[in-house]
Amino acid sequence: MRFKPVCGLALMAGLLAGCAGAPAPTAQQIRLVELRTALGVGYLKQGQLGLARHQLELALATDPHDAGANNAMGLVEERLGEPAKADHYFRAGIAHHPHDGALQNNYGAFLCATGKIKEGLRHFQVALDSPLYPTPQLADENMGICLMKVPDLARAVHYFHRAQALAPMMPGPLYYLAEAHYRQHHDNAARTDIRRYLKVTRSPQALALGVRIGVATHDTKLIHYCATRLFANFAKTPQAQWVERLQREGKLLGH
């Protein structure tokens, strides 16, 4: 899921204030920004959003144009429920690093999550067109997720296959392939996909999808496997309660 810095314009509490022609950061400043950005990303991964924001504010105070710091700050603000601020930081980073694949991918995901599908797809494509982007499978997966909202399931499947080919052990594309195939009524393909996904990891959403696919294919073993693990590991989730209701109503094959 751009403006250029203008002298005298207050931007986000001064973090991005600056003028065209400002001196480039020194090697020491670059290293400091890298360290503070790494700390911010670490806190973000731990869910400590306040600490993450603080470290990234310090990084951006040193270099307001840094791609990684703007990217991470956009993610932090998105997690904090501040979409306008998130949009601001993503755009600030892209304004100075238009070919940064990670920025383009994360901004595309943000745009798709906020309903701006067409614009989000365009940013994913920019990420995929970047020859230096090291993880195109992430943009492929996000492109597919966004296309499912159109919905354009055939194109979504294409991008999930691309992501899966690039990163065979990445579970996300397998889950979304199963969902897309199920929605297309390609039930046997969906069953193959969900079985492959469940060999790598489990989630209540995937296990519930496995139940639906099992019902569609009359596969009582798949139903039993998914229902049993839902009850054992995710008993309080809405997905487990939905399966329990099917069971009580006698709508679950083999149960």
Task: Read off the pLDDT of residues 140-178 as tens digits, 9 standing for 90 and up.
Answer: 999 999 999 999 999 999 999 999 999 998 999 999 999
Distance of CA 186 to the CA centre of its chain: 25
The CATH number of the domain holding residue 74 is 1.25.40.10
Domain final residue pick, 97, 128, 162: 97
Is residue 253 within 8 Å of residue 218, measured between CB atoms? Answer: yes
Residue 65 lies in a domain: yes
Q: What is the pLDDT of residue 9?
A: 28
**Are 91 and 177 within one domain?**
no
Mean pLDDT lowest for which of 75-84, 187-196, 226-235, 240-249? 240-249
Question: Which of 77, 97, 117 represents a domain boundary (last residue)?
Answer: 97
Within-domain flag for 132: no
- pLDDT of 223 > 50? The answer is yes
Residue 154 counted as domain residue: no
Q: pLDDT of 100-142, one tens digit each?
A: 999 999 999 999 999 999 999 999 999 999 999 999 999 999 9
Of 56, 82, 97, the one marking the end of a domain is 97
**Residue 31 resides in a domain:** yes
Own/partner long-range contacts of 248-253 (Cβ < 8 Å, ≥24 apart) = 251/215, 252/211, 252/215, 252/223, 252/227, 253/214, 253/215, 253/218, 253/220, 253/223
Can you give the residue range of the structural domain that contains 15? 1-97
Q: Per-residue DSSP letters for 164-199? A: HHH-TT-HHHHHHHHHHHHHTT-HHHHHHHHHHHHH
Same domain membership, residue 10 and residue 93 = yes
Is the residue at 139 inside a domain? Answer: no
Are the beta carbons of 229 and 202 closer than 8 angstroms? yes
**Is there a domain that residue 75 lies in?**
yes
Residue 120 forms part of a structural domain: no
Q: Is the pTM of this model over 0.75?
A: yes
57-89: burial string, b at 16+ Cβ within 10 Å, e else: bbbbbbbbbbbbbbbbbbbbbbeeeeeebbbbb
User: What DSSP letter does each residue of 107-118 carry, written as one string?
Assistant: HHHHHHHTT-HH
Model confidence over 23-63: pLDDT tens digits?
677 888 899 999 999 999 999 999 999 999 999 999 999 99
| Predicted local distance difference test score (pLDDT) of residue 255 | 54
Instruction: Give the pLDDT confidence score for residue 11 in this predicted structure.
Output: 31
Q: What total of structural domains would you count in the chain?
A: 2
